[in-house]
Structure 1
């Protein structure tokens, strides 16, 4: 309790662990809330939760609550899942894909992720999972980082096409990206241009929490 109260003045680290995949993972009390950070960025809760909540608000909580199946690529501590379950009161199926099993252990221990009954966690590479799954999804949330680095495959046409194929008609994709330089701006612009405007609506929500840009894609139905 002391550390929680003191965290309104200064962040209070309570746990630190090295990870083979994520390198450094830390649990910290910050402004009275537990957050999960990597070496250089927030991985869950804190600013990341605010960022993805804004994207979900843009889609519409009323639309999300009626969806049947949501896919989360990049679970980390599970803050976006907590938003879905605790704030939106989503009761449909959630499939979370996370490559780092150590993060899931931390998420279970500190954030009670394993207490969510409608959540199924898959320890898998997001790239491989997307090409293996036989399900389709009403919402696909992509939040795949290794510290501040986004894997190149996220922006390749074959991955984009596959994600589009997995989206239900009238479904959505919410993609969290990081903009650190002008080449990243150009990368995101090129990403958006790869969606055929006859079949998709694409919008960007720029400069959230300084360096993040959300891309929201809606798959048009007939």
Structure 2
């Protein structure tokens, strides 16, 4: 495809849509790859897929491959789901929760999210979903941004407690955060200190330029 080849020289935007949640969504050919971006950051594929792939590698592909149930809070274009299915060879059920219906339409049309097997997409607010769900999960991936901003509820006791309740023993949380200033660093340090001896917490700073990953294993 000519556009794909040309994108090795400069990015080529092929689709744009306004969004109440993400302001502006763009599908762009960039270095031969189709990516989904918001106004100021990559939403799926591109750098975001690299970040979450690293997080999954830290947990271990072989371990994840045998998980029965995975929850993805914040789907966007579905790149982490694609990684789980295509690269990790995960056969378990994947539930993706995304508040923005527009972004799921784009994910289906341009990235084939709707043809991936064993995936259920729920259009809902992540906070509301974790309150309602009765299921327990082996892996919970939290990747929620509104452009470059992270909703404050992600760092509040009630949400953290509820996510931990939904996690099976020996299960993992993979939490992608953005650190842009000293306040964000302090927020992440406070988040890390929240977990007691029943959890094994690892923090991976400077994954790409501004992202910091947490992997959290529930021990008991």
TM range (shorter): over 0.9
CA drift at 1:19: 1.1
2:119 maps to 119
Q: Please state how far the C-alpha of 1:23 moved relative to its aligned partner.
A: 1.1
Q: Which residue is 1:109 aligned to?
A: 109
**Alignment: residue pair count:** 220
Q: Which residue of 2 aligns with 1:54?
A: 54
| Alignment match, 1:161 | 161
Matched, 1:152 2:152: yes
Matched with 1:220 is 219
* SS in structure 2 of the partner of residue 206 of structure 1: strand
Asked if residue 179 in structure 1 is aligned to residue 179 in structure 2, the reply is: yes
TM-score, normalised with respect to structure 1: 0.98
Partner of 1:128: 128
Task: Name the counterpart of 2:203.
Answer: 204
TM-score (norm 2): 0.99
| Aligned 1:75-90 pairs, distance under 5 A | 75-90=75-90
In structure 2, stretches of 5+ residues that fail to align are none
Q: How far does residue 75 in structure 1 lie from its aligned partner after superposition?
A: 0.1
Q: Deviations over 1:186-218 (max 9, x none)?
A: 00000011111x210001011011100001100
1:190 lines up with 2:216 in the alignment: no
Post-superposition offset of 1:20: 1.8
**TM-fit CA distance, 1:135:** 0.3
| Distance (whole Å) between structure 2 residues aligned to residue 146 and residue 105 of structure 1 | 17
Alpha-carbon separation, structure 1, partners of 2:122 and 2:179: 28
Q: Residues of 2 paired with 1:10 and 1:142: CA distance?
A: 31
Question: Which residue is equivalent to 1:71?
Answer: 71
- The CA deviation at 1:179 is 0.3
Partner of 1:26: 26
Instruction: Determine the C-alpha separation between the residues in 2 that align with 1:87 and 1:75.
Output: 17
* C-alpha displacement of 1:93: 0.1
Runs of 4+ off more than 2 Å: none
Match of 1:13 in 2: 13
SS of corresponding position for 1:28? strand
